Amino acid sequence: MLDQYAEPLSGIDRYAVVGNPIAHSKSPLIHTEFAKQTHQNISYERVLAPLDGFEATIRDLMQQGFKGVNVTVPFKFEAYALCDYHTEQAKLAGAVNTIKFTEHGIWGNNTDGDGLIADITHNLNTLIEGKRVLLLGAGGAAEGVFQPLLVQKPAKLVVANRTLDKAENMVSKSLDKTSQVTACTFEDLKNQQFDIVINATSAGLSDMALPVPSSVFAKNCLAYDMMYGRETPFMQQARASGAQVADGLGMLVEQAAEAFNYWRGVRPETKSVMNIVSAL
């Protein structure tokens, strides 16, 4: 399935994003901008995989000579299982969002965590080291950023989730012994304050507010919603509580830049591409 950004001419290295749904993915635009900027001769397509046909889709793209693919919802765990080799980042996340086809087999990487960290530390100028960090959610999105956040050595990392045992399970896999890492429910957040609050739940998709007390936002807090393209109830609450608020657009572009670098060996500049995507 080709789209306006694809140029399937011979001599061009082909890439794609595979998901379901996929029609609204901004990845083709982002990677096409990266390619222009770095003078790389690539095409980038959207591919809709049937919910029960992810592996067949990937093997077909490999047969067609694609060089790599990005993987998005709901296939990141299946992608992990399908890969022959995994980078450290993929192993830490237990999920794959970037695949590279090589003559020796299929490599899986995960650039979501590095994308979030790059956005918070570089674009938003916020150091994570030594900070009190709250991660809301314990699903796939939270899992992808949990260990990379710990690598930054926050003073403490609290994972709060509606379903407590999922948060406890995630925290039990912590590889870091420097930070204090705990799991709790939203109710347990009373009387706790944080310098960085990250919403990795999918509640915003259905415009649902989270039962998080507004007192969690400490003075000068950064409130980050990994969702992009809409002002979620979480963002509204954080803004009303005086926090600095960011959505996940920067993470989207930064994770793409990491993927581009993994495939092409050159890391594109992201600021101008963030401006293009946010103006859409």
State yes or no: cis peptide before 74, omega within 30 of 0.
Answer: yes
163 lines the binding site for ligand ATR (CB under 6 A): yes
- Closest residue to ligand ATR using C-beta atoms: 139
Looking at the Cβ atoms of 137 and 268, the one nearer to ligand ATR is: 137
Shortest approach of ligand ATR to residue 189 CB, angstroms?
13
Please count the residues of this chain forming the interface with ligand ATR, following the rule CB under 6 A: 15
Token digits of residue 171: 């925290």
Cα separations in angstroms, 205 against 138, 171, 179, 230: 16, 25, 31, 9
For ligand ATR, what does the binding mask look like between residues 207 and 246, x meaning CB under 6 A? Answer: -x-x------------------------------------
Catalytic member of 76, 100, 156, 173:
76
For ligand ATR, what does the binding mask look like between residues 188 and 207, x meaning CB under 6 A? Answer: -------------xxx----
Shortest approach of ligand ATR to residue 146 CB, angstroms?
11
For ligand ATR, which residue of 98, 110, 161, 241 counts as binding (CB under 6 A)? 161
Cα separations in angstroms, 98 against 71, 75, 219, 224: 6, 11, 37, 23
Q: How far apart are CA 219 and CA 197, in angstroms?
A: 12
Looking at the Cβ atoms of 163 and 236, the one nearer to ligand ATR is: 163
Q: Per CB under 6 A, which of residues 116..155 are in contact with ligand ATR?
A: 137-142
Looking at the Cβ atoms of 95 and 256, the one nearer to ligand ATR is: 95
For ligand ATR, which residue of 91, 162, 239, 267 counts as binding (CB under 6 A)? 162
Shortest approach of ligand ATR to residue 233 CB, angstroms?
10
Q: Cα 243 to chain center, whole Å?
A: 22
Q: Is 36 a catalytic residue?
A: no
Active-site positions?
76
Q: Which residues bind ligand ATR (CB under 6 A)?
A: 137-142, 161-163, 166, 201-203, 208, 210
